[in-house]
Amino acid sequence: MQGVLPRVLPVLFGGTPLICLVLTGQTIQDNLEQLTKNRPYIDLCELRVDLLNPEEYPFIPSFPEVAGIPVILTCRRLADGGMYVGSEKERLALLEEALEGNFAYIDLETDFKRLSLEQKATMKGAKIIRSLHDFNEIPSDIFHRMAKIAARGEIPKMAVMVNSVANLITLFRAKEELREVGEKIVVGMGDFGFPSRILYKRVGSLLTYCSEEAVALGQISARAMKELYRGDRVDEKTKIFGVIGNPVLHSFSPIIQNQGFHEIKFNAIYLPFPVDNVRSFFILAEMLKITGFSVTVPHKQQVLPYLGKITREVKQIGSCNTVVRANNLWKGTNTDYYGFIAPLIKEIDSQRVQSALVVGAGGAARAVVWALRNHGCKVTIVNRDLKRAEQLANETMSSWDSLENAPLYKDVDLIVQTTPLGMAPYEGVDPIPSFEFKRGQVVYELIYRPHLTPLLKRAQERGCLLLFGIDMLLRQGKLQFESFSGYHYPKRLEVELTLEED
Ligand code: NAP
């Protein structure tokens, strides 16, 4: 590994926002391995001395030279989310000794002011990051405290818990509220803070933290930051898209949309927004000038009152999964409807599919039943909650029955499974275990992870034609991509995404 003069580099960066890898190894060797693996994706790293075995301490000063990139020196106490359990006196000695090395930055908490250490850092050319942590909330005076730290010539850092979209709005105000403060670090912890980690440049943060194994809530890998989200490429012109839901961080949609944007060189980013309150999200959407977003459980109905324009199928189904800005109005469409029906059209046109059993009566089932009815199919809905089945059946002129009675409908042409049974946390569960599939029936599973659910395995053994949730997901995602970008989804990527899922 090349030894360069790491402490000169931050000056060269001149405030350019950076991707920082938090090193989580217990030995220097572990950390060097993490560094080697992540080198293409990062600009600097943080050596978490508190995570190291004490026998590694003598090797700390030489670490920056070996690392070859700027290194932040940090020794976090238990109370601040770290692992250091020694006394403050021991911590001071450890940090002073470590500063014999050429660290680019040293991270110190606001209540840890030691003149000797600060003087040594200044003498060695290590900038001081002054950290404010709050694992419960965003303190009301946070911007004032940040400004005071900056006035002392230190880099203020806030790492605060974001508990709601309303909190996230506060965090995104940091850029404007602290516009006089040159270098600052803003970290939103927890699921609701996730968008601020990706859009760190829009929060005005000098850097974002990534890690191999999350040492703080909401951290992602440096590779995902650099190659999937490309958070470091966000500029003033980047269009922001996303998916709202709760939970939503597991969503496959950022892969579909970001890879598509990258392939057609569209300056845009797509990220998950965990949303507890739809109204607050629309305020955030105005603040960040979000151009469009996907909607998933549980918000597909809740977005409707905020839309200025809706398509015919949104009105029919009563649920919307795609929202875009159109002439200063939010316009809602439902690509689940088209994504679902597209793989079936051949079977419907050939009259192979004329009757269907739909398992479930939730949001996805609404799009499914309406699409089937609009294409002339006779539908029976079975659901755990009978009232819900009855209501959807009445709206769509369909029949309904209990989940237990599903086996009575064994002669239908098509079975559509729309419940989450079969995917985490219901892996291995079959919602209609007594249903006897017949050769030639079409079986359509909406779950896309795992690829073969227990229900599909049984249907496969009986010689049924299988249709997969991933096909629907990709088709509805492609349509969303067209709404978002105005371009067709790149053909080559469709193949790659399908193969990845297999
Ligand atoms: P939803 O509105 O919450 O509806 C869930 C449905 O599943 C309801 O009918 C519910 O029955 C039933 N259900 C839930 N837990 C159950 C249990 N333990 N036992 C029996 N029934 C249960 O959700 P959704 O939006 O319709 O989504 C459902 C599934 O479709 C999800 O797995 C989602 O990933 C998938 N989906 C896939 C795509 C795709 O593109 N492939 C698109 C949309 C959705 P009750 O009414 O009795 O609660």
- Model pLDDT, residue 494: 77
In the reported structure, the alpha carbon of residue 47 is separated from the centroid of ligand 1 by a whole-number distance in angstroms of 44
- 423 CA to middle of ligand 1, Å? 10
> What is the per-residue pLDDT across 448-476, written as a single tens digit (0 to 9) for each?
989 999 999 999 999 999 999 999 999 99
Q: Is residue 300 annotated as a catalytic residue, yes or no? A: yes
Dihedrals phi, psi of 314, to nearest 5 degrees: -65, -40
The answer on pLDDT for 7 being more than 80 is: no
Query: Is 61's C-beta closer than 6 angstroms to any atom of ligand 1?
Result: no
Token pair belonging to 106: 């040293």
pLDDT over threshold 80, residue 15: no
Q: Which domains does the chain have, with CATH numbers?
A: 18-234 (3.20.20.70), 241-337+476-496 (3.40.50.10860), 344-473 (3.40.50.720)
Going by the DSSP 8-state scheme, the letter that residue 78 receives in this structure is G
152 CB-contact burial (10 Å; exposed 0-12 / middle 13-18 / buried 19+): exposed
Which of 172, 170, 165, 211 has the alpha carbon at shortest distance from 190? 165
At 218 the three-state DSSP class reads coil
| pLDDT for residue 214 | 65
Distance 363 CA to ligand 1 centre (A): 7
- Work out which ligand 1 atom sits closest to the CA atom of 364: 26
Q: Among the options 157, 226, 300, 478, which is catalytic?
A: 300
Residue nearest to atom 21 of ligand 1 (CA): 384
Ligand 1 atom closest to 300 (CA): 25
Question: Band of the pLDDT at 384, cuts 50, 70, 90?
Answer: very high
Residue nearest to atom 27 of ligand 1 (CA): 364
List of residues 6+ apart from 61 with CB closer than 8 A: 97, 98, 99, 100, 101
Q: How confident is the model at residue 433 (pLDDT cuts 50, 70, 90)?
A: very high
Q: How many Cβ atoms sit within 10 Å of the Cβ of residue 122?
A: 12
Average pLDDT of span 240-255? 95
pLDDT in tens, 142-191: 999 999 999 999 999 999 999 999 999 999 999 999 999 999 999 999 99
3-state helix, strand, coil in the chain (%, to 5): 40, 20, 35
- Residue 19: the pLDDT is 97
- Tell me what pLDDT residue 219 has: 80
- 39 CA distance to ligand 1 centroid (A)? 41
Residue 9 pLDDT greater than 60, yes or no: no
Ligand 1, atom 41: closest residue by C-alpha: 469
Beta partners for 272? 243
Nearest residue by C-alpha to atom 7 in ligand 1: 419
| 173, 204 Cβ separation under 8 angstroms | no
- Tokens 């949609």 -> residue: 253
Q: Is the pTM of this model over 0.85?
A: yes
Neighbours of 407 (CB within 10 A): 13
Q: Which two tokens stand for residue 304?
A: 């409707």
In which band, very low, low, confident or very high, does the pLDDT at 2 lie, cut at 50, 70 and 90? very low
